[in-house]
């Protein structure tokens, strides 16, 4: 049986407790990199409850406090009612979830449905404005469809690719009428 040792025991316990309470806490480990990094990212992009796009990336990095996600090895599938999905791949890109804007960079290849079959668009940079129903590029772009090739200083289109217009286009395999060229 243990005996209570009175005041010296209480004094010793009080000192131990005080020492524990007043000891400085271990310093918090600072997060040297507060970026969020996701390996194998997949994002379903919807609009008014309807699937608008499916975005995947090997690596996605979102910096703290930002709405833009930086992507590596991008694959974007865009959906428009009544049309085959458009399929884009690129080396890199970024998606601003707040603005609904996607930029694909580096060996961008977009395959979409054209009026005469499969249409392939290649460029080094391509932008997609989900909310503004617009796809465009301001750099050299090649568009191939049904044996026709258009090389331009960029293009603009709606998201369904039913109104593709090239800027300063050079066309092979098709006649260009007055007023420019349209696919």
pLDDT of residue 7: 47
pLDDT of 69-92, one tens digit each?
999 999 999 998 888 999 999 999
Domain membership flag for residue 127:
yes
pLDDT of residue 173: 61
Mark the ranges of the chain whose per-residue pLDDT is less than 50: 4, 7-20, 22, 28-30, 175-180
pLDDT of residue 19: 46
The span from the CA of 8 to the CA of 29, in Å, is: 39
Quick one: which of 131, 132, 84, 133 has its CA closest to 110?
Answer: 84
Domain membership flag for residue 48:
yes
Domain membership flag for residue 135:
yes
pLDDT of residue 13: 44
> Domain tally for the chain?
1
- Residue 100 is part of a domain; what is its CATH number? 2.60.450.10
Model pTM?
Answer: 0.73
Domain membership flag for residue 1:
no
Domain membership flag for residue 98:
yes
């Amino acid at each position: 049986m243990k005996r209570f040792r009175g005041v010296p025991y209480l004094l010793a316990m009080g000192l131990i407790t005080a020492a524990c309470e007043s000891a400085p806490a271990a310093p918090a480990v600072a997060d040297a990199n507060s970026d969020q990094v996701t390996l194998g990212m997949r994002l379903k992009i919807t609009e008014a409850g309807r699937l608008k796009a499916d975005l995947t990336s090997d690596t996605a990095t979102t910096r703290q406090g930002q709405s833009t996600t930086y992507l590596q090895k991008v694959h974007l599938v865009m959906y428009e009612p009544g049309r085959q999905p458009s399929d884009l791949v690129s080396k890199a890109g970024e998606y601003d979830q707040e603005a609904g804007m996607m930029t694909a960079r580096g060996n961008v290849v977009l395959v979409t449905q054209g009026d005469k079959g499969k249409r392939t668009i290649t460029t080094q940079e391509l932008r997609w404005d989900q909310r503004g129903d617009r796809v465009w590029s301001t750099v050299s772009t090649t568009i191939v469809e049904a044996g026709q090739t258009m090389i331009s200083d960029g293009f603009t289109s709606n998201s369904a690719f039913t109104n593709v217009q090239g800027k300063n286009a050079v066309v092979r395999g098709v006649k260009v009428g007055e007023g420019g060229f349209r696919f």
